[in-house]
Chains A and B, each alone.
Chain A
Amino acid sequence: MKIRKYVILALISVLSLFAFSVQGLDLHVPGCSWESTDLTHEVDVRVHQWIDITWDATPYHICDYGYIEPYQEEGFIFFSLFYDSNATVVVTVDFPDPYFKDDLGSILDGISLEFFLKEKVGENENSILQATYNWGSLLTSPGVPLTIGNAMVAEIIISMDTLTVDPDAPAGIYHLPVLFTFSPTVSW
């Protein structure tokens, strides 16, 4: 999954280039004193900021009730995201609707889940946010929406820490929406 929004923009800007075509200038150089004529011109080239984003969301299957600690074995990665830009990017993360819900809108309330959001820039991995989804309510530290540190190239992952499942947790497919916003730092 790659984003290439700017191709159309580029096309438009190429077209506008031709529309720009300014009036020609006339220059008459008489003889006898003509040694050399210089034409010079400066062009400001604006290299706009672009970005490539790839991501992957993996569902987790709860097969039984009880207490699970996948974090002890590298954790389970719900979501991973990689972006690559030609300038630093401001990334914010939000959980706009802080519930695990099924397609009918029923809230999953029979589990207690702790997860991390981490950012990996080069070799450095930082825990950005810790979240607890406890019996139907989501608590994050720090709060959301949250701005993640600036980087040109980074990986963001959401991984599970611990999970406690009540025997009465209703069977079904539940989603917790997560929203990432990418903003350029170079723009005109």
Chain B
Amino acid sequence: MKKVFIGLLALLSIFAFANGNNVHIPGCEFESYTLDSSITIYVHQWMDLEYTWMIDSFFDICDYDLEFPWDVDLLSFTLDSNASVTVSASANWGGLDVYIDGTIYVEKDGNPFIPTNPIGDGSYLVGVAVTYIDPDTPAGEYTVELGITFEPTVTF
């Protein structure tokens, strides 16, 4: 019965701690009391990004008979963050992917880079190496939507 009471008291004192850091030490048994705590700082993740979309407005495909692979740079960015960053890319090729084959390439600091995730600081270049254009690709205008998402790896 006594133990239960002490247990309850201990529980209450924990809640008291969480709330207002309050301790009462009665006399007689009080020889010394050590308060062991810490000061915590959360350093959040931030990011500086300098980026350039390499194709300003429109992009011309003038012939199917080209020298392949045809490297088309899409995006360059310089990442500077205080932790690694998770990157995901998306592309809607507007129907062109039916007629045109290509592979995505990435360079980091001027060297070929096999994409890993997350990525660290550096200068990156992302492009598509076109390997084939169907001669029957209907002439016309296609809207290609490119997207890239940067997410912190350190969150609280």
Tell me the A residues contacting B by CB distance below 8 Å. Answer: 4, 6-7, 9-10, 13-14, 17, 20-32, 34-50, 52, 84-87, 184-186
- Contact in complex: A26, B50 (CB < 8 Å): yes
B54 on the A face (CB < 8 A): yes
- Contact check, B139 vs A186: say whether CB atoms are below 8 A apart: yes
* Known A7-B65, A47-B140, A48-B139: A24·B51 in contact at CB below 8 Å: yes
| Chain B neighbourhood of A36, CB < 8 A | 149-151
Q: Contact partner of B52 among A22, A38, A50, A185, CB < 8 A?
A: A22
Q: Which of B135-156 contact A (CB under 8 A)?
A: 135-152, 155
Name the residue of chain A whose CB is nearest to the CB of B78.
A24
Nearest CB in chain B to that of A7: its residue: B63
- Which chain B residues border A47 with CB–CB below 8 Å? 61, 96, 137-142
| CB nearest to B85 among chain A residues | A37
Question: B151 CB to closest chain A CB, in angstroms?
Answer: 5
Q: With A and B bound together, what is the CA distance between A9 and B153 in angstroms?
A: 46
Interface size on B, residues (CB 8 A): 54
Which residues of chain A are near B57, meaning CB under 8 Å?
43-44
Partner of A84, one of B48, B60, B75, B135: B135
Residue in B62, B138, B146 whose Cβ sees the most chain A Cβ within 10 Å: B62
Convert B78-92 into 0s and 1s, putting 1 for each residue whose CB lies closer than 8 angstroms to a CB of A: 100010000000000
Q: Determine which residue in B48, B53, B148 has the highest number of CB atoms from chain A within 10 A of its CB, and name it.
A: B53
CB atoms of B48 and A46 under 8 A apart: no
The answer for the CA separation of A79 and B52 in the assembled complex, in Å, is 54
CB pair B58–A27 under 8 Å, yes or no, is no
Q: Which residues of B contact A39 (CB under 8 A)?
A: 51, 53, 75, 77, 147-150
27 chain-A/chain-B pairs, Cβ below 8 angstroms: A4-B65, A6-B62, A10-B63, A20-B56, A22-B53, A24-B50, A24-B76, A29-B46, A34-B47, A36-B150, A39-B77, A39-B148, A40-B148, A43-B59, A44-B58, A44-B144, A46-B141, A47-B96, A47-B141, A48-B63, A48-B139, A52-B135, A86-B137, A86-B139, A87-B139, A185-B139, A186-B139
B136 to chain A, nearest CB (A): 6
- A15→B19 CA distance, assembly (Å): 66
Tell whether, in the assembled complex, residue A184 and residue B143 are in contact, meaning their CB atoms are under 8 Å apart. no
